[in-house]
Structure 1
């Protein structure tokens, strides 16, 4: 069951990012709530350069990027549920981004916890990204 929840959450949150960055969503608390409800309070992102970003810092950065990338596209490939123990799941996927003429990709590992108060029934606890060259 968590496999489909995690897959759909990854797709949906990245779709939100694309819409938010491109300015196709209103710059409102209601629209931004898609991100705030999905990320756990202790969420941490390890970016491809090794920098750790806590939830608060990430949310402030995302909020400030509204309509900041008009020619931005993001898509997900090769999703796999690697492991599930109780209400915790670990998934991997490739995240591809196109900004103007530049395409980048990263291998991502995400840790989820089941939480039925979120849009897809799982919340993000941790993400670790590594550049794909």
Structure 2
């Protein structure tokens, strides 16, 4: 048995690390220290996302949305990852389930997420995002 972290461990670390990047990228006071190339490296070719409202976005749309959303939040913006657990796994592919909780503009929302990862030697945690589905658990407060 090798000392290499499990696929689930690497994918879990990626979920947490990418959401830390989002906080740094979106919070105006911290955006200067965020490395956008890190985000682009972990979003795999052919990536697709089903947003909580049901809209299907391809890789280009997601990358563009994140790029143009830099420094759009105040210091109160926060994301926490809860209840992270493995789903299906086969070979170099894993499905990871987690709840993403956000605080934005003093308002809370939560979404159940399922993400598909494949191994990638060039990605920071050794995995890249291939697919993401988000479903509202708590829609943004008004």
Task: Return the match for 2:73 from 69, 75, 82.
Answer: 69
Q: Distance in 2 between matches of 1:94 and 1:14?
A: 12
Select 1:95's aligned residue among 71, 88, 100.
100
- Distance in 2 between residues matched to 1:114 and 1:127, nearest whole Å: 16
What is the Cα-based RMSD across aligned positions, in Å? 1.2
Q: Unaligned 5+ residue runs, structure 1?
A: none
How do residues 29-108 of structure 1 correspond to structure 2 at under 5 angstroms?
31-70=35-74, 71-108=76-113
Q: CA deviation at 1:130?
A: 0.4
Whose Rg is larger? Answer: 2
Work out the CA distance in 2 between the residues paired with 1:45 and 1:75: 19
Q: Which residue of 2 aligns with 1:122?
A: 127
Query: CA offset at residue 25 of structure 1?
Result: 3.1
Deviation readout 1:67-90 (Å, 9 max, x if unpaired): 001131111000001121000000
Contact 2:24–2:33 (CA under 8 A) maintained in structure 1: no
TM-score by length of 1: 0.94
Partner of 1:19: 24
Shift of 1:41: 1.2
Deviation, 1:34, is 1.1
What runs of 5+ residues in structure 2 fail to find an aligned partner? 1-5
